[in-house]
Structure 1
Amino acid sequence: MKINLLAIDDEPLALRVIAAHAQKIPFLNLVGTTTNPVEGLLRVQQGGVDVVLLDVQMPAMTGFQFLQILHGRCPVILTTAYPEYALEGYEYAIADYLLKPISFERFLKAVQRVQAPLAASLPAVDEPVAPSPAPALAGHIFIKTDNRLVKVNHADIHYIEGGKEYATVVTSTGNILTLTSLLKLAESLPAPQFLRIHKSYIVALDKIEVILVTK
């Protein structure tokens, strides 16, 4: 039985090392590597990922922010060059913690640690497995604009852009200007459907169609 592994690290060299290690392990199937944690989160939500190998320090989103959004959807093995992150990592019930540079022996031990519990929970090889659909955006939010509250369905929100004194909610039917802070809006929207990717932007993950990857 193969275990599907997704590796997320902003260092291409680290991903090449992980890919080389994964090729040597018969029960491991590397389904993808990415330097963009947002792209990785979308990949997990699409289904077909059993284990995530996750770097801690990344510019777009830290490993701990990723863990908060992932909310235990699948086992995670953290990778980093800094041992001081280990204690915080285990507060998120991570499966293991790998220090860079990652040796093959330590990598093998980490994936073996998740092999047994995953094998017990995964269906047999001859059973067809349909990808898990992304969670539907049910519910709504009331947004204050002028002297009234406007009801906006979660499914209609594309993204929210924050300004110094206001925020613009971009929806399927138009833009809504509000004096509500971006922080308060972020607290009112459900995770993992919505993600604050920048100090000025909140995005609906199901509305993302293209992710630019810088080299």
Structure 2
Amino acid sequence: MNILNCLIVDDEPIARDIIQNYCSHLDYLHVIAGCGNALEAKAILQSQAIDILFLDINMPVIDGVSFAKTLKHQPQIIFTTAYKEYAADAFDLAACDYLLKPFSFERFIIAIDKAMEKLQPVSSPKSADNDSVATNKADDFIFIKTDGRIYKIMHHDLLYAEAQGNYTKIVTAVNTLMPKMPFSNFEEQLPDSLFLRTHRSFIINKAKIGHIEGNRVFINNTEIPIGNNYREQLLKQLGFLK
């Protein structure tokens, strides 16, 4: 496993220490530095290759969201904050994850898994451990293997799917499955004419859209974010842009 360079940016020393401690338990994470503000971080990002950026939002001089917008070549950003109201802004920036303080080590690992999935090159859709998918795009269904069972999922029953670290959360009209497989591999099995990417972590069934409001798609009672990088293409696929 490749070593991932990490940068911690938080104006609270205790918060930096907690993330540093969490990173120390994972031998593939190497913390390059801990910074108290975005200007210090900018200097390091210009001189070091950073894979994962832990970024606090409420900081002096320039806040984390504004700082992220200035980055031309973004690492995988994991926002850390005590304020949940910033979540929508974070997802608009296609952040890898959003950790609400105080967060557990278990939740930290989930965020790291998401970052690792995005950093890994897309592999051919072979079996992923004991869980896999099999389909032909000409069919109107796919087969998913998880928890020792093989499930047949009709396209019209699939509501949406979400990247969850090394797993893909598949939500259907009748159940929710969590096969251990890369999100990109699952997406490859779905016909482009029926399914749309709204965010780097979400793909939806076009026929199941209830309505769109701002940067959110509503499917039943679930709100799904629309990332800035996907909004234009989404509107084109729905026929609102040429």
TM-score norm. by structure 2 comes to 0.48
- Aligned equivalents of 2:94, 2:117: Cα separation in 1: 17
The number of residues matched between the two structures is 121
The residue that corresponds to 2:24 in the other structure is 23
One-letter amino acid of the structure 2 residue matched with residue 99 of structure 1: L
**What secondary structure does 2:114 align onto?**
helix
Q: Which amino acid is the alignment partner of residue 87 of structure 2?
A: A
Q: Which whole-Å deviations, capped at 9, do the CAs of 1:118-168 have from their partners, x for residues lacking one? A: 1339xxxxxxxxxxxxxxxxxxxxxxxxxxxxxxxxxxxxxxxxxxxxxxx
Map 1:50-89; keep pairs closer than 5 Å.
Answer: 50-89=51-90
Matches of 1:95 and 1:118, distance apart in 2: 10
Runs of 4+ in 1 over 6 A off after TM superposition: none
SS at match of 1:89: helix
Superposition map of 1:103-114 within 5 A: 103-114=104-115
For residues 90 and 117 of structure 1, the distance between their equivalents in structure 2, rounded to whole angstroms, comes to 15
Q: Taking structure 1 as reference, are residues 33 and 12 closer, same or farther at Cα in structure 2, changes over 3 Å only?
A: same
Distance 1:11 1:58 in 2: 9
Q: For 1:6 and 1:120, how far apart are their aligned partners in 2?
A: 22
> In structure 1, the residue corresponding to 2:95 is in which secondary structure?
coil
5+ long unaligned stretches in structure 2: 123-242
Residue identity opposite 1:111 in structure 2: I
- Counterpart in 2 of 1:93? 94
RMSD: 1.4
Instruction: Please tell me whether residue 38 in structure 1 is matched to residue 49 in structure 2.
Output: no
Per-residue deviation, 1:53: 0.3
Aligned residue in 2 for 1:140? none
Q: Which of the pair has the greater relative contact order for Cα pairs under 8 Å at 6+ separation?
A: 1
The answer on whether the counterparts of 2:68 and 2:74 sit within 8 Å (CA) in structure 1 is no
Deviations 1:84-135 (A, max 9, x none): 11011111110000000121111111011111231339xxxxxxxxxxxxxx
Tell me the percent identity.
Answer: 35
Which range is displaced more, 58-67 or 112-121?
A: 112-121
Letter in 2 for 1:96: D
Name the CA distance, whole Å, in 1 between partners of 2:31 and 2:94.
22
CA distance, structure 2, for counterparts of residue 72 and residue 85 of structure 1 = 22
Please state how far the C-alpha of 1:73 moved relative to its aligned partner. 2.3
Q: In the TM superposition, what is the alpha-carbon distance from 1:72 to its structure 2 partner? A: 4.4
Offset at 1:5? 0.6
